[in-house]
Structure 1
């Protein structure tokens, strides 16, 4: 974790350690880069505003100079669209806007570190009222079969395997349609709309399939927000 605010760093470290993570805290970008250059980590939590290099600079170093593809959650006090899009386009897997919330932080970390982010893998996905049989490409909701096309099934299964994680349109295209230059990103939007309708992905059903600026989509499982702890922003 790269965070120059020591009080916030300590709070986040407690949250993450209580959730079973080993945490290494760095208040300085140079020290962080020196250690990361010789050690491996499962994921990174990067603050956007730092005394020397920015979080965006560190993110670019990780992705381009080190070719490090470990998941990155970008933490920012800036919620302007251009700042968020810059982080995502720079290689961040997700972002959280301060003030940070305990359960949200842990949920986002869990989402980006979850393994097996392609449609293949385990033969069965069961989340709430939804069941996806990957071997036979059959989907059910509340025990009843869903009438999905092959691509709708693949897209829905991918979203449920990455529940809580922000995924770009490009990532969705590659995962569901493969590296096909003839498929337009608008195809993703069309299929997202169909999946949302057929699976009834609405807050009153306990799920939300929401767009994120001009970047992509996130499937979220709705939970009560009351009583969550807040970390003080910079």
Structure 2
């Protein structure tokens, strides 16, 4: 998962990064709230960790911006030295999903982060199949069916398709998709994502009569929308 961390203490920032990276997450570190907001205007994150007091824009101001401008389901964790009851209540009432007072032991930090991610992005990795309307995915086998008809997809096309369905109606930035599917996005030509997205759209017949449509988001990325089926 892609996790943004707003923290201006270098030691604390590296501590959080080390704990979450070892657990398989990809962390992006920010010392200033404005830099985080600018990045969030261009890219998707799965969770954001905020400190209260940073150099420019306070964590509660960044939280207010997130709740007004970003995906409403984005998990936001406050991790700060401010441990007064009033601070905790204010942050939670403003839209934070959890609140930790530093110093935080690594097992507790990881447990809280995993709980938030599982609550929002719960996916049964062990499930043999995942059903989305008439689309049936077999993640372990890398197969997908539309109304019992198997659709031939390449490995990357399958990964892209199931990423879109698992994040239905959620805007996904190009950077998020490239990192998730291709891992090292810097080495991928810019048209590669668009070519694969077009192939998924055509092969899976993602059009209104089948109830789904891939929507490009100019300057940002893509979103898979569930639509009302067209009446004949």
Instruction: Please report the TM-score for the alignment, with normalisation by the length of structure 2.
Output: 0.49
Q: TM-score, normalised by structure 1?
A: 0.48
